[in-house]
Structure 1
Amino acid sequence: MLDCPESDSTTGVNPLVASANYNQPEIVIYLLEEGRYDIKFSELHTLMLWAAKRGHTQVVKLLLADQSLDTQKLSSNAFLSAARNGHVEILRLLVANASTNPLPHMRTENAFMAACEQGRLEVVEVLVSPTGANVDPSCRQNGGLKLACISKNTQLVKFLLDDPRVDPASQNQAALSSALTSRDIDMVELLLEDGRSNLSKLDPGVITNCTKFAPLRLVKMIFGAKHDIPIDTVELAYVEACKAG
Structure 2
Amino acid sequence: MINRLSISIVDTTEHATAEYIKEYINSNNIFGVFEYNEIEEILKISKLTTKDFITLLNQSSNTVDPIDLYKCTRNTNVSIQKFEEVISFLNSIKDFMKLGILDGVIDFIQQLQKQVSDTTEELQKLQARYRKVSPAYKVKDFFDNYVALRNHASEDKKLFSKECEEKLWEVSIDKEFLKERNIFHAACEKGELNLVKSLIEWGCDKEMESPNKRTPLIFAAQYGQLDVVKYLISIGANKEAKDNNGNTSLIIASSKGHLHVVQYLISVGADKEAKNDNEETPIIIASKRGQIEVVQSLISVGANKEAKDKYGWTPLASASATIHLETVKYLISQKADKEVSVNGGATPLIIAAQNGQLEVVKYLISKRVDKKAAKNNEYTSLILASLNGHLEVVKYFISLKANKDEISND
Q: Mark the CA change 1:154 to 1:80 in structure 2 (over 3 Å): closer, same or farther.
A: same
What TM-score does the superposition give when structure 2 sets the normalisation length?
0.47
2-side partners of 1:18 and 1:104: how far apart?
30
Q: Which has the higher contact order (CA 8 A, sep 6+)?
A: 1
- 1:162 matched residue in structure 2: 333
Q: Give the Å deviation of 1:19.
A: 4.2
Letter of the structure 2 residue corresponding to residue 125 of structure 1:
Q
Do residues 87 (structure 1) and 258 (structure 2) align?
Answer: yes
What TM-score does the superposition give when structure 1 sets the normalisation length?
0.75
Q: Give the Å deviation of 1:65.
A: 1.9
Q: Give the Å deviation of 1:42.
A: 3.2
Superposition map of 1:6-45 within 5 A: 8-11=164-167, 13=169, 18-21=183-186, 25=190, 28-33=192-197, 36-43=201-208
Structure with the bigger percentage of helix: 1
Of all paired residues, the percent bearing the same amino acid is 16
- 1:239 matched residue in structure 2: none
Indicate if the aligned counterparts of 1:14 and 1:39 stay in contact, CA closer than 8 A.
no
3-state SS of 2:390 partner? coil
CA RMSD of aligned residues (A): 3.2
Letter of the structure 2 residue corresponding to residue 201 of structure 1:
A
3-state SS of 1:178 partner? helix
Unmatched tracts of structure 2, length 5 or more? 1-160, 172-180
1-side partners of 2:195 and 2:227: how far apart?
12
Unmatched tracts of structure 1, length 5 or more? 237-245
- 1:241 matched residue in structure 2: none
Superposition map of 1:43-82 within 5 A: 43=208, 46-66=215-235, 69-74=236-241, 77-82=248-253
Superposition map of 1:1-245 within 5 A: 8-11=164-167, 13=169, 18-21=183-186, 25=190, 28-33=192-197, 36-43=201-208, 46-66=215-235, 69-74=236-241, 77-98=248-269, 103=271, 105-107=273-275, 110-130=281-301, 134-140=302-308, 143-164=314-335, 166-171=336-341, 172-195=345-368, 197-203=369-375, 204-206=378-380, 207-212=382-387, 213-216=389-392, 218-225=393-400, 229=403, 232-233=405-406
Indicate if the aligned counterparts of 1:31 and 1:37 stay in contact, CA closer than 8 A.
no
Indicate if the aligned counterparts of 2:321 and 2:352 stay in contact, CA closer than 8 A.
yes
Q: Give the Å deviation of 1:91.
A: 0.7
2-side partners of 1:22 and 1:71: how far apart?
18
Q: Mark the CA change 1:73 to 1:153 in structure 2 (over 3 Å): closer, same or farther.
A: closer
Q: What is the number of residues matched between the two proteins?
A: 217
Q: Mark the CA change 1:33 to 1:94 in structure 2 (over 3 Å): closer, same or farther.
A: same
Indicate if the aligned counterparts of 2:224 and 2:258 stay in contact, CA closer than 8 A.
yes
- Greater Rg, structure 1 or structure 2? 2
Q: Give the Å deviation of 1:115.
A: 0.6
Indicate if the aligned counterparts of 2:258 and 2:294 stay in contact, CA closer than 8 A.
yes
